[in-house]
Amino acid sequence: MVSEGGKIGYREMALDPTQVLLRGAILRNTDWIYAVAVFTGHETKLMRNASAAPIKRTSVEKTTNRQIIFLFAILLLLAVLSALGSQILTSRNRDQLSYLMLPEGEGAKTFVKNILTFIILYNNLIPISLIVTMEVVKFQQAQLINADMDMYDETSDTAALARTSSLVEELGQVEYIFSDKTGTLTCNIMEFRQCSIDGAMYSDVVEASKRARVVDGAVVGQYDFTQLREHMRGSERAAQLCEFFQLLATCHTVIPEQRGSELQDIEYQAASPDEGALVKGATLVDYIFHTRRPRSITVSVMGVDKEFEVLNINEFNSTRKRMSAVLRCPDGTIKLYCKGADTVIIERLDETRGASVQVTLRHLEEYATEGLRTLCLAMRDISEEEYRTWSAMHAKASTTLTNRQQELDRVAELIERDLVLLGATAIEDKLQDGVPQTIYTLAQAGIKIW
């Protein structure tokens, strides 16, 4: 968007899909906005694609319909043949059928009437009662599904609900099941369980056999989160720990919603459950993110509010496999916080400052073995001069009209380098109850699962 004067002045501003509200969008945490209606009318792509939902018919219904059409064709054929036979018989024996008082010269009219008469006589050929019986049976089977206690969820007090009676006849015809993991096999409820910071492992629950202890002069095992808070108040890695949780509380696009009067009564609206879990994880050590403004965020750090100016956000996408935020801290320094997959973070680290990289990689392997979802966290300090140069390149890339996303990714690469590894996180997404047994039972039924 180009402004030519006025309060804004002469400048170009970047617009991207994040500034577009699609039809049906709901504004939250926003009192008012300035907006322009674009892409309206019935000729737009959205409206042209808004076709009526197709009618879904089951295999049994399709087979039944074909058979009824076939029977109706036989009915018509029998009616025509019977009417033709009646016409021939009447014309040959008209002298003997005077008591019927047949009209003269209306052979065609009589032929059509006879066809209709024979259709009525032969109508039992069409099994109307079969269709009614099938619908009644399907309805009763749907009620059995709704009343099945094996499919009742006590946690949410929710029973099974068959939204269509046609469901039951399709279940027995399933041969393949294509399923993802998150939200289908798992509960899609992410919980911050463990983290690795400066070569030390921390966990919310530590088994007695895995507790941290000194072996041959080196610390082996895990600390719990209570010890983590103690280390943050006074230990050799306190600065690293504070930087780690400051990253969790600031490097994200989460929107907080205050649910009560207490500072902890906050519900986080996140683009992904993982991001929300990381922000909640920071609250465990009193790094509470509670306010987001267009250009800043406020975090309560152990009871003290600190405001961070959000200079730039390099969004996560499937190609980059990471996201980063350029922030101006309360002390005036500019920092780049970056989080993402270990493969993309490790290759962008400053090789001269990677003392704990190998230890962190071993911890990541342990987390993966336990089925936890992992992320690597890194940061670097940025000088004012470097940021001014990079910011001009970012502004130019954000306003380009061709290959904008590729240009933004290229510019982000220029600043996401020489990072210092802070640590790694491990998030748990539990399997739903009975998943292994369900998969085994489906396999026993001959259903193939991908």
| 192, amino acid identity | F
- Which of 305, 212, 302, 310 is closest to 254 using CA atoms? 310
CA distances (Å), origin 78, targets 104, 107, 114, 120, 126: 26, 19, 11, 11, 13
- Which of 437, 433, 392 is closest to 411 using CA atoms? 392
The C-alpha atoms of residue 361 and residue 367 are separated, in whole angstroms, by 10
Is residue 224 part of the annotated active site? The answer reads no
Q: CA dihedral defined by 16, 17, 20, 24, rounded to 10 degrees?
A: 180
Contacts of 82 (CB under 8 A, 6+ apart): 114, 118, 122
DSSP state of 221: S
Annotated catalytic residue, options 31, 150, 180, 331 = 180
CA distances (Å), origin 96, targets 64, 286, 425: 46, 109, 102
Angle made by CA atoms 110, 114, 116, in degrees to the nearest 5: 120
Active-site residue set? 180
